[in-house]
Structure 1
Amino acid sequence: MTAPLPRLRARALLASGAGLSMAAALTLTGAGTGTATAADAPSTTVTPAGHSFAAQLNGKATFKAGSVTVTCTTSGSAPTAGSTNNRIPDAPDNHNASGPVSNNINPPTFGGCTTSMPGVKATVETSGTWTVAMQNGDPIVATLGMPTAGFKLTTTGLASCTVTAAPTAPASLPAVFTNGDADNPSKITLSGAPAAVKVEGGFGCPTAAKTSTFSAVYDVTDVTDPASRVLVGE
């Protein structure tokens, strides 16, 4: 992101080192103009136009760096009063004739995080504006955008480390968007999405790690009308 999830204007959820991974985020950016990745990119439309949406972790999120894995059991991004984040643009801005639709979302939260290292606990802090861009196709491509230093993982215990994702520039995390149906919500799936990291700390910290990977599945639901589905099409 930093491509953007649904601006969802048819133009338009990191790891730590030595084993700490980095987290990614769901961003559906607000109204701006998306940028097509190619001159012949197919059209994209995100619906329902003007509806607010939430992204909630389905299962667990894992962040890996080196030999260490951080696992979080809760994560999500939801709309807040007075903000246009997590809102599909009104028509016609929910459509892009030749490229993705992008949107801003509130920074995702992460909780219930544990590490694969005995005696080491982890917490995650996020900040800034996250984004998501949806590009219609087969599969539907989602690009999650993370602002510079927008994700920080801190460990305490036998190893005290700080892992900052996208330390010097925004990061774009590749994902796949799957349209839901009457029985299932739409989903965003990240499978080993890479991101740059900076690891700081002493003994036990993977300070040599420069990248980490993030894997998670997020359910994307319509907050305005829970009976509706957030969908991406032509």
Structure 2
Amino acid sequence: MKFSANLGFLWQDRPLPDAIRAAKAAGFDAVECHWPYETPAAEVAVALKETGLPMLGLNTRRGDVAGGENGLSALPGRDDDARLAIDEAVAYAQAVTADAIHLMAGFADGTDAHDTFVRNLRYACDAAPDRTILIEPLNHYDAPGYFLKTSGQAIRIIEEVGASNLRLMFDCYHIQLMEGDLTHRLQRLKPQIGHIQFASVPDRGAPDRGEVNYGHVFDVIRDMGYDAPLGAEYKPGGPTEDTLGWLSMMRS
């Protein structure tokens, strides 16, 4: 089993290039991030080359975070802003050879939001045909009002868009809180899954705690034939190194 360090949460106390180096030293097989845009892509590329770690993915910008925004791609009337964010993410992903781009939908609801999201997803898929475009349902505890709420809604949108490079980001933490039935859902949705993330439930900590038996979940993922690195997107609540006991235990 291979694992990716999500540097949006892990080693947040370090500049992104140093966090990449820390992930390598800790034994991760890959890295991923949230919004790396304040760090020059050239610096990230140097750290990736030095460590040999692939960058699995990054997110489009959320928009006006202070104003409460959490993504732009499903906001009616904001296509221009959404596409600027998409273009920025595509350019950065190309510069650091990131495999995937997660389009943040934002807080919205209704038919207009759906149509806007579909339209912007098609734009992103066309703009980055050599990248995987990901969409991710978020739970209504952490992100109340977020447009994309369930895996079923995500799959219907993926089918409507009809692009070969559009996939589901299956975050076990969000899916467990909203829908449960993780292992059956993983097995059923495997053809549409582009990346898998995890964290303990309900506190979003390291995976060796909480209500989900990740040892079993990872066994099921392995038996499915899914061999890409799984994204450790959890909040360490202290020094990241102090929370990594699970890594060697669950790798086998």
Same-fold call, TM > 0.5? no
Larger % of helix: which? 2
What range is the shorter-chain TM-score in? under 0.3
Q: TM-score, normalised by structure 2?
A: 0.23
Structure with more contact order per residue of length (Cα contacts < 8 Å, sep ≥ 6)? 1
Higher normalized strand content (fraction of residues): 1
